[in-house]
Amino acid sequence: MTIQVIPEQTVPIPTDFTPDKVDDMLTRAKVAFNTASFLIANGLDADPRKDPEGTKAAAREAKRQFTGSPIAQRRPMNSKTALWLNDLFHRYNNEVVDDTVKLKNYVVTRLVEESDGEKAADRLRALEDLGKMSNIGLFSDKVEISVSNKTTDELKDELAKKLARYMGPVEEVKETKKKKKVEVIDLNKELGPDE
């Protein structure tokens, strides 16, 4: 297999050849899948029928990595394993989304059916639950938070009042600043004259 490489004139030549560290398994799998896709696009034969044992081994390794098995290999990831792992991620994400959508549709359908029920309490409860749904939001609980900024003097007054309630009247002690006496040292007198 020959891959023709044409360097781009606008991309500078790298000076640091230390490999990038990819600690996240999902990112590592995406990088491996992109590499495998590039190799397949440039002539790599990845037909699973030509190597059934290698394909089974790649599928087992992909399942181990996907589930986080302690016996899963950290590196290297071959192209077949990368393709299997990408397929698992793709199916898993789609299945979760599909199941969530199906469940939401089922709940909405049942609530609509219950809103036509015989008992008034059941009808009212079903309508209330329909109104609470996030995309409708008729009865959503809102929490309002108000922030009031107070000056330092206001906070001191409030603190003094609270302390007075528990400890008696509060006396304010004013801070007095003393002037520091600066001592001047004559170096000629202490060390002697320069020679």
pLDDT at 10 over 80: yes
pLDDT in tens, 20-60: 776 666 777 777 788 888 888 888 777 767 777 877 888 87
Place of tokens 């938070």: 145
Q: Is residue 81 a contact partner of residue 61, using CB atoms and an 8 Å limit?
A: yes
Contact partners, residue 163, CB within 8 Å, separation at least 6: 170
Cα–Cα distance for residue pair 165/173, rounded to 1 Å: 18
3-state secondary structure of 108: helix
pLDDT at 166 over 70: yes
Write down the pLDDT at residue 148.
79
Please give the residue that has the higher pLDDT: either 99 or 8.
8
pTM above 0.75, yes or no: no
Cα–Cα distance for residue pair 139/128, rounded to 1 Å: 7
Three-state SS annotation for 45-83: CCCCCCCHHHHHHHHHHHHHHHHCCCCCCCCCCCHHHHH
Both structure tokens of 91: 């199916």
3-state secondary structure of 5: coil
Place of tokens 């079903």: 126
pLDDT at 180 over 80: no
- Rg of the chain taking only CA atoms, in angstroms: 37
